[in-house]
């Protein structure tokens, strides 16, 4: 039994909860932050859905990215930190600053608290959005040497992930005092849903199962959340991961219509509402005038987002399950939990 204590920030998050499951299964003790302690039982229930009864090996601290309170207590006594708390596309953000401020300032709050507590290494959950955005064409698959071009057409979420990850690396270089940092940059994260509060990537599958009218001409990589959690654990302890970024993707990217075809071919009657056609770009642009979610996707129309996970495989021995398995695990869990419209 490994008695080391690990802080996982943003305990209500999809990736964070799967990271907690992986840590608890590996024998670690876990402390997690939530903005509202009233959500503790919800988090514990999600972990039970994932096969783990946390008991007293899991503790909760109230902390918010926008304030200093709670972060010192959260980091105290921790050997490692997995920091994934960050604004995600929930619809609550109105201004660009609603994304960027909490992401950048939150990263710095967590890093300062971790450094002052003597944490050995922080594993930052960044995003593919810090790598791929703002580029109109790439002659090769994206990899960890790439950064989003903020002079291009970049949505606020991708901009926040880019600026917050850069701020983290700059903090480590200037003020880290020997604390180590690794960053995980997942593409769209699928996999088993634990409850009704799931990530924006999962909605891609849910909307198809619910019968959206067609598929946007958008390309994306996919990865299973269980493999993302596994990569976090590898990056947390492997000496080769210190000071490195790791792109998390399973196989090659695919177009949304290919995702729909996987659902229809593998789920039978359960996928009878999944779309079979690609929406013309002009229809998507017209809809984006009234739909903010659609508008955020417009910079991605027609762009190949293929990327390489070779570095994580080579340095850390990471081996993700096939993307098709991630797609099916997502759909099956949504159906099992009654989260798909009848």
pLDDT score of 234 = 98
pLDDT score of 335 = 96
Token representation of residue 160 = 């926040």
Give residue 247's pLDDT band: very low, low, confident or very high (50, 70, 90): very high
3-state helix, strand, coil in the chain (%, to 5): 45, 15, 40
Percent of the chain with pLDDT over 90: 82
Task: Name residue 185's beta-bridge partners.
Answer: 247
pLDDT score of 90 = 54
Contacts of 324 (CB under 8 A, 6+ apart): 262, 266
Lowest mean pLDDT segment, chosen from 10-14, 90-94, 147-151, 206-210: 90-94
The verdict on whether 120 is a catalytic residue reads: no
pLDDT score of 117 = 98
Handedness of CA 12, 14, 16, 22 (dihedral sign): positive
Give residue-wise pLDDT tens across range 84-93: 988 665 555 5
Give residue-wise pLDDT tens across range 303-327: 899 999 999 999 999 999 999 999 9
How far CA 235 is from CA of 207, 229, 243, 248, in Å, comes to 33, 10, 10, 12
Q: Phi/psi zone of residue 121: left (φ > 0), alpha (ψ -120 to 50 degrees), beta?
A: beta
How far CA 77 is from CA of 4, 83, 152, 264, in Å, comes to 9, 16, 42, 49
Domains present along the chain, CATH in parentheses: 5-199+221-253+305-322 (3.40.50.720)
Token representation of residue 63 = 């902390």
| Summary mean pLDDT of the chain | 93
- The residue that leads in pLDDT, 224 or 139, is 224
Of the candidates 146, 231, 218, the residue with the CA atom closest to the CA atom of residue 183: 231
- The residue that leads in pLDDT, 224 or 287, is 224
How crowded is the C-beta side of 27, counted as CA atoms within 13 Å? 4
pLDDT score of 94 = 56
Q: Using CA atoms of 131, 136, 141, 145 in order, give the dihedral in degrees to the nearest 10.
A: -40
Give residue-wise pLDDT tens across range 160-187: 999 999 999 999 999 999 999 999 999 9
Mean pLDDT value across residues 136-145:
84
Mean pLDDT value across residues 184-210:
94
Give residue 2's pLDDT band: very low, low, confident or very high (50, 70, 90): low
Bridge pairing between strands 222-224 and 188-190? parallel
pTM: 0.95
How far CA 233 is from CA of 8, 98, 326, 334, in Å, comes to 12, 30, 19, 26
CB 37 within 8 A of CB 60: yes
Mean pLDDT value across residues 11-29:
97
Mean pLDDT value across residues 54-81:
97
Token representation of residue 131 = 């790598």
pLDDT score of 3 = 76
CB atoms within 10 A of CB 196: 11
Q: CA-to-CA distance for 194 and 237, rounded, in angstroms?
A: 26
> Which position among 161, 206, 277, 290 bears the catalytic label?
161
């Amino acid at each position: 039994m490994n008695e080391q204590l690990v802080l996982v920030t943003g305990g209500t998050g999809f990736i964070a909860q799967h990271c907690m499951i992986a840590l608890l299964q590996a024998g670690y003790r876990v402390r997690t932050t939530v903005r509202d302690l009233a959500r503790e039982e919800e988090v514990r229930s999600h972990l039970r859905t994932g096969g783990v009864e946390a008991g007293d090996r899991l503790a909760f601290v109230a902390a918010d990215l926008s304030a200093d309170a709670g972060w010192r207590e959260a980091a105290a006594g921790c050997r490692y930190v997995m920091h994934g708390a960050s604004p995600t596309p929930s619809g609550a953000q109105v201004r660009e600053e609603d994304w960027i401020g909490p992401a950048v300032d939150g990263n710095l709050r967590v890093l300062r608290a971790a450094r002052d507590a003597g944490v050995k290494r922080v594993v930052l959950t960044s995003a593919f959005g810090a790598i791929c955005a703002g580029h109109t064409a790439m002659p090769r698959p994206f990899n960890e040497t790439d950064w989003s071009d903020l002079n291009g057409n970049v949505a606020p979420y991708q901009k926040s992930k880019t600026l917050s990850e850069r701020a983290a690396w700059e903090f480590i270089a200037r003020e880290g005092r020997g604390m180590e940092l690794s960053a995980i940059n997942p593409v769209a994260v699928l996999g088993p849903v634990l409850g009704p509060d799931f990530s924006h990537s999962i909605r891609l599958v849910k909307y198809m199962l619910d019968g959206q009218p067609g598929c946007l001409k958008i390309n994306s990589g996919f990865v299973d959340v269980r493999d993302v959690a596994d990569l976090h654990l590898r990056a947390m302890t492997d000496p080769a991961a210190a000071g490195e970024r790791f792109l998390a993707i399973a196989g090659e990217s695919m177009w949304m219509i290919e995702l729909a075809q996987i659902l229809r071919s593998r789920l039978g009657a359960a996928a009878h509402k999944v779309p079979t056609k690609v929406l013309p770009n002009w229809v998507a642009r017209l809809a984006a005038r009234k739909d903010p979610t659609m508008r955020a996707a417009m910079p991605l129309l027609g762009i190949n987002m293929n990327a390489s996970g070779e570095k994580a495989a080579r340095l850390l021995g990471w081996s993700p399950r096939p993307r098709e398995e991630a797609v099916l695990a997502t759909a099956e869990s949504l159906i099992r939990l009654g989260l798909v419209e009848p």
